[in-house]
Chain A
Amino acid sequence: MRGHGRVIEYALSTLARRKFKNFSVAAVFSFLIAVLSSILFLTHAYKTETLKLLEDSPEIILQNMSGGRHELIPVEYITTLSGIAGVGKASPRYWGYYYDSLTSANYTLMAYDENMQDIKLLQGRMPASEGECAVGKGVADIRQVGMKDDIFLTLGTEQNVTLKIVGLFSANSAILTNDLIILTKDSLIKFFNMPADMATDITIEVNNPSEVSTVARKIRRTFPNSRPILKNELIRTYDNIFNWRGGIVLTMFFGAIAAFMIFVWDKATGINAEERQEIGILKAIGWETADVLYLKFWEGAAVSLSSFFTGLILAYVHVFYFNAQFLAPVLKGWSVLFPKFEPMPYIDIYQIFVLFFLTVLPYVAASVVPSWKAAISDPDSVMR
């Protein structure tokens, strides 16, 4: 064991002797790991965050379709829906989009209902009467308004609607509420000029979650023009979106990965005359082939492990302390009001292991194999 410790010590001193070469490799390696890990961390954090948000959403959202497009849905459907076996509670939702030409941003306007009780407010309360509203942090920031301020929205008729801000949503719920303006149901219906007996969609609770698909089929049969959207489908869709976006970024980065792998391979396999000579000297003075391989293993391991963990730490800091400044716009999507939420540090250990096996192990192998070729040859080469 003493011997192994001294060989490791020697490996580290060897790295220090060739510091420029090893530092440049470590810098590129760390950068690569940092970028790859940032993508993985951020994608996973978004997916986990979205999943947590969708956990509380209804099992089924029922939309009415007309000409292949989402249409308002008659509220009277609820009576029929309640009669379908397996359906628990069905409630209408009132919401719509509003394009704010002042800031070139899209807001989501939504009528307050009891299901929103779980959304945390930073300040104030939910709207209780006509002319009141609660707004997300993004809306407040872009319109530069705060509690008790008025916010003006312009109707298609060029008539301004003034709403008093009585509540501000907490930044923690930003992914859900950033572009949100909550009004009372009457205010919203009036704002969008919706017919009194129509809603935007209907949320449906299912008594037995394992029967969701069956219930959805029954609903579809009962209302052929409707589209039941299942929570699981939403989760899958978000998963796919983030995987797709992560994949796009990874693909863009593929060139850099390929260049690095070639660089690593060239560095690791291209054992130079000086290194070959050093291996010969070590063999000549009594080192065994196994000792030389152990040395080379630790040289490769020290560079790749330190780079790997440096990259991981950089990625962690980038994603979870600096909110992934360089990647978030690509992964979050098209919205004008990017939620400035801080991704929670959810890390998929499996992904870390995959990254480890795809980067550290090839590097170590590429360091050891060419040295092995030199180490098994007779050491008398150093005499000539």
Chain B
Amino acid sequence: MDAVIRTEGVSKVFNAGLADEVRAVTGVSIEIRRGQITVLKGPSGSGKTTLLGLIGCMARPTEGKILVEGRDVAKLPERFLTSVRRQTFGFIFQQFNLIRGMTVRENVMLPLYPTDIDGRQMVRRMEEILEKLELSSKRGVKVGKLSGGQQQRVAIARALINEPAVLLADEPTAHLDTKLSEDLLNIITTLNMDGKTIVIATHDPLIYDKPYIDNIIEMRDGTVREASLL
């Protein structure tokens, strides 16, 4: 199976050269294989969220290469990096990061607002995704009025609206109870069966103990401690 993303000796240093310099990731080389579910596992501060941000083109590495579909994106200008991010990745954040005061449908369509996609096509996509995630009845509701699980599903819907090849999720069960976490994992496995590559940064055993996880990369102190293909 080919790699969608490959990192080669990637490091990320925050506040480089300052007194509060933090070396979040050091010399990480990993592969994210197409169509698989990969988990970045590790305790808080191990660098998994930073690595997730790097492979999702949300930040640039201080050193090393990040190859997305074989193309090194580490040195790309901001505009092209955004383009890669928009076309390739969908993000599910730990804090959901929905825009308060906006409805479900507005939040879901938000990534497509600045694009030239036809309005009807945008609405059709949104309707399909809400249908799939059982959120159709909530489309006109302000996100602040939804439960945590519903907000998480809205965040997933928003991540899917661009039809990304790779879905990146940062601690997606951190604010969900066991039942909602199970529901979320069901959604994720369904998406994986639809062909999406999924990368999850988590320290929740409920996720990384699941049998359908293809690949676990264990991180500690900014480095890869162990990578296992299951």
Residues of A at the B interface (CB closer than 8 Å) are 1-4, 6-7, 9-10, 13, 17, 277-278, 280-291, 294, 376, 378-380, 382-384
Contact = CB atoms under 8 A, between A and B. Distances in A.
A290 B113 CA distance: 13
B172 to A, nearest CB: 12
A3 B79 contact: no
B162 A286 contact: yes
Given A10-B113, A278-B99, A288 B79 contact: yes
B194 interface: no
Given A3-B114, A281-B99, A382-B93, A287 B52 contact: no
B106 A13 contact: yes
A181 B118 CA distance: 74
B114 A383 contact: no
Contact of A281 (B85, B97, B114, B119): B97
B58 A379 contact: yes
B102 interface: yes
B49 A384 contact: yes
A288 B110 contact: no
Given A278-B99, A286-B82, A7 B114 contact: yes
B85 A380 contact: no
Contacts of B79: 288-290
Nearest to B119: A2
B114 A287 contact: yes
B158 interface: yes
Q: Is the interface of A mostly helix, strand, loop or mixed?
A: helix
A291 B111 contact: no
Contacts of A4: 114
Interface of B: 49-50, 52-54, 58-60, 78-79, 82-83, 85-86, 91, 93-95, 97, 99-102, 106, 110-119, 158-159, 162, 170
A10 to B, nearest CB: 6
14 contacts: A2-B119, A4-B114, A6-B112, A10-B113, A17-B102, A282-B110, A283-B82, A284-B97, A288-B82, A376-B78, A380-B59, A383-B53, A383-B93, A383-B170
A7 B115 CA distance: 9
Contacts of B93: 284, 382-383
Contact of A284 (B49, B91, B113): B91
Given A383-B170, A384-B49, A286 B117 contact: no
Contacts of B116: 1-3
Contacts of A280: 97
Contacts of A6: 112-114, 119
Contacts of B119: 2, 6
Nearest to B97: A281
A13 B102 contact: yes
Nearest to A377: B59
Q: What are the nearest 4 A-B pairs in CB distance?
A: A286-B86, A380-B53, A17-B101, A380-B58
Given A6-B113, A286-B82, 11 more contacts: A2-B117, A3-B114, A281-B99, A283-B82, A284-B85, A286-B85, A288-B114, A290-B79, A378-B58, A383-B52, A383-B170
Best-surrounded residue of B54, B93, B114 (most CB of chain A within 10 A): B114
A2 B53 CA distance: 30
A6 B159 CA distance: 19
Contacts of A282: 110
A289 B83 CA distance: 11
A72 B85 CA distance: 90
Contacts of A287: 82, 111, 113-114
A354 B86 CA distance: 42
Nearest to B12: A380
B97 A382 contact: yes
B111 A285 contact: yes
Contacts of B94: 383
Nearest to A8: B113
A285 B50 contact: no
B101 A285 contact: no
A64 to B, nearest CB: 77
B167 to A, nearest CB: 13
Contact of B114 (A284, A291, A382): A291
